[in-house]
Amino acid sequence: MSDEPVCILSTGQSVPDSIFSLADFIELQKSAKEFAISKLDKNDMAQKQRAEDIENNFNWVKRCAQNSAIDKRHGIIPEDGNRLQDFYEKYDYNPPYTLRAKYWRRYCPELAMNAVKKALAEWGGDKNKITHVVSHSTTGWDVPGLSHHVMYNLELPTSARAVPVNFVGCQGGTSVMFVASTIAKQDPNAVVLALAAEIQSPLGRMYNDDISLEKSIYMPNVLFGDAAGCAVIGRPSTRGNKSFPAFEYLDMGAHYIPDTRHVLTISVSEEYGLYYENSIKKELPVKLNATLASKFPTWFKSVLGDVNFSDSSYAVHPGGKKLLNNFESLISDYGVKDASKELQYSYKNLREYGNLASAAIIFILGDVCRNTQKDSIYFMAMGPGVCLEYGGMKRYRPGSKASKSNKSSGNNTNLTPILLAIIVILVGFILGGFTVNDLKNML
């Protein structure tokens, strides 16, 4: 079993039942705008200007939403309302941060368990063989965390280990897969759940009082939705169900873009502590595109070796329409025909769910594994840092052995001749009767 490859063996995905359409979103922002303006005195010049600024911000947000390629999103409906808008209206579009945090604790573990159960059903193995639960969320927390919630609700063996990997951002899905696959490669008996879950719908930024109208703070309103994704990672012999096409995890890598810490940030707002503030600066696509243009071919070869760009499938985090459009153009330049089709599951995910942050890559990778006819996959996600994480995968075929790392094989190639030469020289000195002092004198 130890020489079996470590593979993704199944995925499960979960979203709330409630659908938040493009029209619903625009109506929510419009209602928030009108409520904020209604409190201003049009006879006061400063307040009149504030009303104009709010109107301009709303029009910008509306245009962004209409051009986002997002048809709908899914979100929780707190406090037994009928719409997400009911929640915001109840608190004058300004629910306290403590209440927003409460709803993460209420809904995120439930959403996570739905995804876990679907992944386990598709895997079909014995849950008591699960050794680790690696979990991630950026939108909230509690202690014990998501990993412990899963372990408790599944009644896993008391030897199971919780491995929380939190507050990474949108690349959190690749982070949990990296940690999970690394654990499994080191432990031949490991079966690991890699889980990413986010509750983002109660975190919206509205137009209250004199808070900032900086556009970068409002862009997340346009993009994000609620979801949980889970992957079962281990060796194929642990499966009870072979319906999911297993793919072996090959090498993975990461790259931080210098001088971009300010470009994508997430924190509790200093403005009265009201908001879970997510800021996306306009430099983000520029920085990402420049980095991808220069680094992508190197990254691709480092994880997939001699595979041609056109012989690989692609699972890419849908940070936004512009990012996917630019990556589509990039792989076209490297000979990938019908590149939009190669990214169809990324586009589909964005269209149907919006940006699901850390959960997105697990959704997309599951779709690609199930549907591709190719034997190789390149996957990638990006988030705060700004950091990009990427990896390669190879289709598992019964009886195949674990692949050698491109990184380790490259290092051995460079070092082995040098080490052999040193050994030969030392052996020659010993057989020739030379001493250490003789060697020192020669140097």
Per residue in 162-177, pLDDT (tens digit) is: 999 999 999 999 999 9
Q: Sort 46 into a burial class: Cβ within 10 Å, 0-12 / 13-18 / 19+.
A: exposed
pLDDT of residue 409: 47
Residue 390's pLDDT band (cuts 50, 70, 90): very high
Q: Sort 277 into a burial class: Cβ within 10 Å, 0-12 / 13-18 / 19+.
A: buried
pLDDT of residue 408: 54
Element (H, E) at 392: strand 387-395
pLDDT of residue 439: 47
How far, in Å, CA of 3 to CA of 33, rounded? 60
* Of 395, 399, 401, 113, residue with least CA distance to 244: 395
Phi, psi (deg, nearest 5) at residue 399 = 90, -10
Other beta carbons within 10 angstroms of residue 295's beta carbon come to: 16
Residue 415's pLDDT band (cuts 50, 70, 90): very low
Between 417 and 168, residue with greater pLDDT: 168
Per-residue pLDDT, averaged over 137-155, amounts to: 94
**Is pLDDT of 35 > 90?**
yes
Tell me the two tokens of residue 171.
């690349």
pLDDT of residue 286: 82
How far, in Å, CA of 370 to CA of 122, rounded? 12
Tell me the two tokens of residue 117.
């159960």
How far, in Å, CA of 331 to CA of 297, rounded? 9
Q: Provide the 3-class DSSP secondary structure of residue 327.
A: helix
pLDDT of residue 412: 43
How far, in Å, CA of 317 to CA of 42, rounded? 45
Q: How far apart are the first and last CA of the chain?
A: 50
% pLDDT > 90, the chain:
70
Taking the model in full, what pTM does it have? 0.89
How far, in Å, CA of 439 to CA of 437, rounded? 5
Residue 111's pLDDT band (cuts 50, 70, 90): very high
Are 268 and 275 spatial neighbours (Cβ–Cβ below 8 Å)? yes
% pLDDT > 70, the chain:
89
How far, in Å, CA of 189 to CA of 75, rounded? 38
How far, in Å, CA of 31 to CA of 369, rounded? 42
Q: Provide the 3-class DSSP secondary structure of residue 190.
A: coil
